[in-house]
Amino acid sequence: MSESAPVPEVATSENPTEIPAADLPKIYRAMVLARVVDERCLTLQRQGRIGFYVPLQGQEAAQVGSAWALDPEDWIFPAYRELAVALVRGVPVKLLLDQFIGNSGDVLKGRQMPNHYGYREFRFVTASSPVGTQISQAVGAAMAARWKGEEIVTVTYFGDGTTSSNDFHAGLNFAGVFKAPTIFFCQNNQWAISLPRDRQTKSETLAVKATAYGFPGVVVDGTDVHAVYRAVREARARALAGEGPTLIEAQVYRLGPHSTSDDPRRYRTDAELALWKEKDPLARMKHELLAAALLTEDDDVALWETTRKEVVAAFEAAEATPPVDPLTMFDDVFAERTPALEAQRAEFEESQKAGTGKS
- Supply the CATH number for residue 216's domain: 3.40.50.970
Name the residue range of residue 335's domain. Answer: 325-359
Instruction: Residue 261: name the closest of 114, 359, 138, 112 by CA.
Output: 114
Could you tell me whether strands 195-196 and 191-192 are parallel, antiparallel, or unpaired per DSSP bridges? antiparallel
Residue 87 lies in a domain: yes
pLDDT the model gives residue 3: 53
Check pLDDT > 50 for residue 57. Answer: yes
The active-site residue, picked from 111, 120, 267, 287, is 267
Q: Give the tens place of pLDDT for each residue, 228-275.
A: 999 999 999 999 999 999 999 999 999 999 999 999 999 999 999 999
Q: Are 186 and 334 contained in the same domain?
A: no
Q: Are 166 and 68 contained in the same domain?
A: yes
Q: Are 231 and 339 contained in the same domain?
A: no
Number of domains the chain contains: 2
Residue 114 lies in a domain: yes
Is 267 among the catalytic positions? yes
Check pLDDT > 70 for residue 6. Answer: no
Is 28 among the catalytic positions? no
By 3-state DSSP, what share of the chain in percent is helix, strand and coil, each rounded to 5? Answer: 50, 10, 40
CB 75 within 8 A of CB 125: yes
Check residue 30 and give left, alpha or beta (phi > 0: left; psi -120 to 50: alpha).
alpha
Which percentage of the chain shows pLDDT scores above 90?
92
Instruction: Residue 8: name the closest of 331, 343, 323, 233 by CA.
Output: 233
Q: Give the tens place of pLDDT for each residue, 298-323.
A: 999 999 999 999 999 999 999 999 99
The active-site residue, picked from 254, 268, 287, 337, is 254
Check pLDDT > 50 for residue 350. Answer: yes
Q: Are 184 and 146 contained in the same domain?
A: yes
The number of beta carbons lying within 10 Å of the beta carbon of residue 170 is: 14
CB 135 within 8 A of CB 162: yes
pLDDT the model gives residue 14: 62
The active-site residue, picked from 226, 258, 265, 345, is 258
Q: Are 302 and 334 contained in the same domain?
A: no
